[in-house]
Amino acid sequence: MKLNVDWHKNNKMPKNPSIDERIKWHLAHVKNCECRPIEGKILEEINKRGMKI
């Protein structure tokens, strides 16, 4: 998997993010960087909301 260093440098996860902020960040991340897939509770919440990755 490939890390997009520039994207990570310019798109930090907010401090103490809400679940909505976390989902928004992870969805943008998966579109812009290949370093890791969405997993765990975030993926469960995305699926529960019927959102597409």
pTM: 0.90
Does 53 reside within a domain?
Answer: no
- In-domain check, residue 25: yes
Place of tokens 């520039």: 6
CA–CA dist 6, 3 (Å, integer):
9
Q: Please state the domain count of the chain.
A: 1
Res 44 pLDDT > 90: yes
Distance CA 13, CA 36 (A): 15
Flag whether 28 is in a domain: yes
14-43 pLDDT, tens per residue? 999 999 999 999 999 999 999 999 999 999
Residue 40 domain-assigned (yes or no) = yes
Nearest-angstrom CA–CA distance, 3 and 16: 24
For 32, the domain range is 5-48
Closest CA to 27 of 40, 42, 41, 14: 42
